[in-house]
Each structure stands twice: as C-alpha cells, then as structure tokens.
Structure 1
Amino acid sequence: MGYIMESEELLSMFNRGNIRICDCRFKLGASDMGRNEYEKEHITGAIYFDLEKDLSGKVEEHGGRHPLPNLGQFKDKLESYGITNDTILVAYDGGEGSFASRFVWLLTYMGHRKVYILNGGYRAWKERGYASDDRLPHYEPAEYHLQIRESVLASYQKVKDFTERRPDDVVLIDSRETKRFLGIEEPIDKKAGHIPGAINKVWTNVLDEGSFLQAEELKQTYKGISRDKEIIVYCGSGVTAAPNYVALKEAGFPNVKVYVGSFSDWISYPDNPIG
C-alpha cells in the first residue's frame, strides 16, 4: 500500500482500535471554517487538525507562510489523541487534497510509517453514505516518539545550492498554477515568478475531482523525469506542494523532498534571483 486509501477500505477498518481518522478541512482566508465544519459533522471518531494552528508554525521573517510547526507541541497533540508510532492514521480534507496531503507529508517527516490520505476526502465519504456525526471523541493519552526523516525535507540551503550549481541529478518542481509560475499573476506573495531552474507541474493535475489519479496515470504526469533523480517540490507556502509529493511517491519516485518554506520563503531573502 502507498499513501492512498479508498473510502471502502477505511470503512472496513472502523472496528480497529489502533486507527485515528484525522479531519484536516481548512479554507485559506477563512481559518475558522474547517473547525466549524468539523464541529457540525465529521467522519465518526475523527479528530481535528488545523492547518495553521497544528500543521504549521509561527510565521517569522524567514520560513514562509506555512513553516514547520513546533514538533514538540505537535507531538503533545498526537499523544493527547492516544496516537502512538504504530497507530494507523488516515487524513482527509474537503476533497481538495492539499490539506490532507500536508498532514501525510508532515507525519512522514516525523517518521510515521502508517499514514494515508482518504481519496476524495469528506466529499467522497459522504457520497457513499458512510458514517458521520457531530460527536467529539475522547481518547486516552499515549506516548509518541519522534523519528525525524530528514530525507523528505529540502532545506532552504539545499534549494539555494541547486540554483547556483544546477546539478544534473536534481529536479526542482514548482507546484503552483502556470500563471503564477510564469510571473503573469501573483495574488498572494509580494513578488512574482519562480525559483530559477524549476519546472512547472501544477498540483491540481494529479487529481480528478479531488481524487488522486491512478499510479499509471501519475507516471504519465511526470513522464520525462527519471526516477533516479532527486526531486524537490515546492509551491507558495508548502501546502499545495504536498499533493505532488504524494503523487510522485505513488508514481514510484523514491527520492522526493518538500521545500516547506517554498516561494514565500525564497523571496524573503531580497537578493535571491527570480526566474
């Protein structure tokens, strides 16, 4: 099994005690929406993780708009939900794919081995008429041990070195919409364009109405990129790069990293060039 789990498979696992379903619904620009939707209704037994309060840290001069969270505090939250290193984690969002993918990548970085994304998110679950309610679950606390996997994280310095040396064995992928990549349109960040040397693989192209494409289709999406290469993916703030990370892994690429700071971190250094 890769990172993708279908609704039917999750349903079959409902009676297992070692599973936690993680609601990651969120809306940029309306930060309370996800939590409000969760409190109204969610998959039975699900717990909530907020993109900006849980899956991201404090915004500072550098680090981008959604930097890594304080891992000690995040570990405490996992423990409060009774999550151990052996717990099966299944994340979902509203069907966008990006917020749940951020959770999946973050837990992978923390060393978790059994973390999955619910394909199609809450929308797909509801369409099938599966169990949901508004009850807030309670779980007994547990112990969680961080086992950081640096191999899935690309540092700012790593990306900086790429732009200066352009090594043949590294591919830098910009996950944003093409207009933003080309610098034609920039609705969020203070500068327009892309990190020099990057190619554009728009994150929405790995999804079909919120569900990830099949592995063979994903291989075609990245056709022309050798699996022997080291792949670094970024976006505006490290969120929509995550679906590309998931998709690349599903397509069989072994060495994939996320530059969490992404373009918003890159442009926080005024002397950095822009393509």
Structure 2
Amino acid sequence: MFTTLISAAELQQLGNNVVVLDCRFRLNDADYGRAAYDAGHITGAHYLHLDYHLSGTKNGNNGRHPLPEGQRLAVNLGSLGIAPDTQVVAYDDAGGMYAARAWWLLRWLGHESVAVLDGGVQAWQQAGGVLDQSDPERNATRFSMAPARESVVTLDDISANLCTPQFLLVDARAPDRFAGENETMDPVGGHIPGAKNRFFMLNLNEDGLFKSAQQLREEWLALLDGQPLDEVVLSCGSGVTACHNKLALEHAGLHGARLYAGSWSEWCSDSSRPVATGA
C-alpha cells in the first residue's frame, strides 16, 4: 500500500487493483489539463479537473478553490471504481502541485491507499512508460467514506488565532506573493499576520522529484522550531499547494498538520481583515 509517494517504476509493477487519476491543470488556462489528457495520458487514467471535480462552488467569499461537498466527491470517486481496498495514484506535470490536492481529498474522505506519482508524467515517460489516448474503463462501485485522515480549520479559527495564538500558520505560496509583491491571482497582496512562509517547490529537488524523507524532516523541523505538528496549520492561495506541503510532511513522517482550505483567497475577500506584508 502506497500512502504518500510512488515512483514510476513502482507504478509500473502494480497489479490491476489500481485507479490512476490525471490531475493536470494550469491556473492561467483552465482548459489545459483536459487538452493534455486527450493528447496522451497514462493508460487507464481518469481525468479530474481542479475547478470541476476537486473544488466546490464559489460564492465570492469562500476562496478560489473551496472544498467540494464530500458526498458529491464520493459519488464521483465511486464512479471511477475506487473501492476501500483500491490503490489510487494521482499525477500531474507540475511537481505534484495539483495531484497533492486529489491525494488530500481522498484522505479527507478516509481513503488511505492513495499516493502521488513522484515526478509526475515526466518521470513516467523517463521510466519508459507510454501515454495513450484511449478512454479508460469505468468499473463503478460505491465509494465508502470512512473517518477522515485529514482535518481542516475554518475562517473563524484563523481569526481567533490572531487574538489567542493556538497554532502556527505556514503559507505555501512563493516568497514574493507571501510578501505582497507581484500578486496576480488575488485582489490583495500579502499574508495572514503571524504566518511563516514555506514555498511548496522547496519540497522538490532540481530533478522535480521530492527530496528524501530525511531531508524534508530536517528542513521542516528547522522551520517549525519546536512547534508541535498538531499545532500547525497549512495554507496557500486557495488550498491547493498547501496540500503539497502536507504531502511533504507525511512523507517525512511528520503527522498532524491541518489545512486551512479557504487560504489567502478567502481571507482577503473581506477588506476588514488584517493583512501583513514583507518576509
């Protein structure tokens, strides 16, 4: 059972009881992922769109990628043949940026056997894996929701934490956006006061693969500086790349961090909320 990362070679060795999810996407081109999937995907993979499948309905105040309704997501996953004992593998072409969201969501619904393909479609091809354009078979089943393996904090929790600190907020955005510079995704630049910055791309080596568990553990423990993991909350722009940081923590054996799904895009939707800038 793979629960964090899986290599291309390991995926090639898996048997039939596996469902592969193609999560390719670009924030500046919502049609990119589907087009890339149609041009060629790992055999048998199903496509999941960040906006339509891995997010819920936006209302202008709940961020750019609010969590989907759990029961609806469970029905969608069941239609792809994901049963309790199914190994799920999610991949993209962006270092796991979007695949980690699918990984987190399945864990949120209680599914343990889910992993991200380390290095994505690029690693798959480098390992001799082929891409095809065939439609995958759908062996629909009932997705059984189980006790969640992931938990979230709410906007109210974040607000209360400003007055009475109970946890450390770690923001996964690039340092310039965290500092309030070069903001292109949201109407306001900056970050939630008190947050620390850990750019999600720091979880990867130059080859696009995740750093070793030991290296990630050392880096994260240095950042957290003694903060207990159950007092760590992960955020980003819209609750997507924060999942990448969660994946890195789990890979490093550091368990317990929670997600602020609304993240910066929810926080900054109300101009009365405080904003911090700078590193």
1:113-165 deviations in Å (ceiling 9; x for gaps): 10000000001101121132111112221011222527522222222221221
- Assess if the C-alpha contact under 8 Å between 1:166 and 1:197 holds in 2: no
> Hey, what does 2:19 align to over in structure 1?
20
The equivalent residue for 1:193 is: 190
Residues 5 and 117 in structure 2, CA contact (< 8 A), matched pair in contact too: yes
TM superposition shift of 1:42: 0.7
In structure 2, the residue matched to 1:72 is 71
Helix, strand or coil at the partner of 1:211: coil
- What does 1:81-92 correspond to in 2, within 5 Å? 81-92=80-91
* Counterpart-to-counterpart distance in 1, 2:95 and 2:219: 18
Residue of 188, 199, 219 corresponding to 2:217: 219
Deviation per CA, 1:137-195: give whole Å up to 9, x if none.
1222101122252752222222222122123xx22101111111111331121111110
Distance 1:8 1:84 in 2: 24
Q: Does residue 159 of the first structure (1) align with residue 124 of the second (2)?
A: no
TM-score w.r.t. length of structure 1 = 0.94
Distance 1:187 1:236 in 2: 11
Checking the alignment, whether the CA contact within 8 Å between 2:107 and 2:114 is kept in structure 1 is yes
* 2:278 matches 1:246: no
Query: Which residue of structure 2 aligns with residue 261 of structure 1?
Result: 262
Shift of 1:227: 6.2
Indicate the residue corresponding to 1:4 in structure 2. Answer: 5
Whether contact under 8 Å (2:168, 2:227) holds in the other structure is no
Amino acid at match of 1:228: P
Per-residue deviation, 1:2: 4.4
- Judge conservation of contact 2:91–2:99 (CA < 8 Å) in 1: yes
* Structure 1 residue 47 corresponds to structure 2 residue 33: no
Deviation at 1:26, TM superposition (A): 0.8
C-alpha distance in 1, partners of 2:254/2:211?
15
The Cα shift of 1:71 comes to 2.2
d(CA) in 2 for partners of 1:109 and 1:40? 31
One-letter amino acid of the counterpart of residue 10, structure 1: L
For structure 2, the residue ranges without an aligned partner over 5 or more in a row are none
Matching residue of 2:117: 118
Partner Cα distance (1:164, 1:150) in 2: 28
Tell which deviates more after alignment, 66-75 or 193-202. 66-75
Instruction: Indicate the RMSD between aligned Cα atoms, in angstroms.
Output: 1.5
Cα gap change, 1:271 to 1:227, in 2 (>3 Å): closer
Which residue type is aligned with residue 93 of structure 1? D
Displacement of 1:96 after TM fit?
Answer: 2.6
Q: Distance in 2 between matches of 1:5 and 1:36?
A: 25
Write the distance in 1 (CA, Å) between the matches of 2:149 and 2:4: 19
Contact 1:227–1:253 (Cα < 8 Å) also in 2:
no
For residues 30 and 75 of structure 2, the distance between their equivalents in structure 1, rounded to whole angstroms, comes to: 22
The 8 Å contact of residues 175 and 200 in structure 1, kept in 2 or not, is answered as yes
Length-normalised TM-score, structure 2: 0.92
DSSP 3-state at the match of 2:270: coil
| Amino acid of the structure 2 residue aligned with 1:25 | R
SS at match of 1:73: helix
Identity of aligned residues (%): 35
What runs of 5+ residues in structure 1 fail to find an aligned partner?
Answer: none
2:233 counterpart residue number: 232
Looking at structure 1, the residues matched to 228 and 71 of structure 2 have their Cα atoms a distance apart, in angstroms, of 34
Q: Within 2, Cα distance between the matches of 1:63 and 1:272?
A: 14
- Alpha carbons of structure 1 residues 180 and 250: separation in structure 2 relative to 1, 3 Å: same
* Structure-2 separation of matches of 1:117 and 1:193: 30
User: Is the contact between residue 3 and residue 114 of structure 2 (CA under 8 Å) also seen in structure 1?
Assistant: no
